[in-house]
Amino acid sequence: MYEDPTFATSASPMPRMKVNVVLSDIKNPYFLVDEWYSKEELEGVWKEIDFLTDFKKFQLDDEQLLSVNLDDSYNNKNISNILSYRYKEKLELFANQVDRSFPEGTAQDFMKCKNINSKLCYFHQAMGQSDNKTTDKFVSYLFLYKEENIFTGGDMLLQNHKVKLHNHRQVFFPGEYSRRVTPIIFSDPKRTLGHGLYLIKTTYN
Identity of residue 50: D
pLDDT at 6 over 50: no
Q: Could you tell me the sign of the dihedral formed by the alpha carbons of 5, 21, 116, 123, in that order?
A: negative
Span 34-41, mean pLDDT?
A: 92
Q: Is 123:183 a contact under the CB 8 Å cutoff?
A: yes
151-165: b or e for each residue (b if 16 or more CB lie within 10 Å)? Answer: bebbbbbbbeeebeb
Task: Identify the residue with better confidence: 9 or 17.
Answer: 17
Task: Measure the CA–CA gap between 204 and 174, rounded to whole angstroms.
Answer: 9
Task: Measure the CA–CA gap between 199 and 171, rounded to whole angstroms.
Answer: 11
Does domain 2-204 fall into CATH 2.60.120.620? yes
Task: Measure the CA–CA gap between 188 and 54, rounded to whole angstroms.
Answer: 20
Q: Give the helix, strand, coil percentages of the chain, each rounded to 5.
A: 25, 30, 45
pLDDT at 9 over 90: no
Identity of residue 89: E
Task: Measure the CA–CA gap between 185 and 67, rounded to whole angstroms.
Answer: 19
Confidence of residue 14 (pLDDT cuts 50, 70, 90): low
Q: How far is CA 197 from CA 17, 45, 61, 67, 200, in A?
A: 21, 14, 17, 12, 10
Span 173-202, mean pLDDT?
A: 94
pLDDT at 13 over 70: no
Residues in Cβ contact with 183 at an 8 Å cutoff, skipping those fewer than 6 apart = 123, 126, 127, 128, 153
pTM for this predicted structure = 0.91
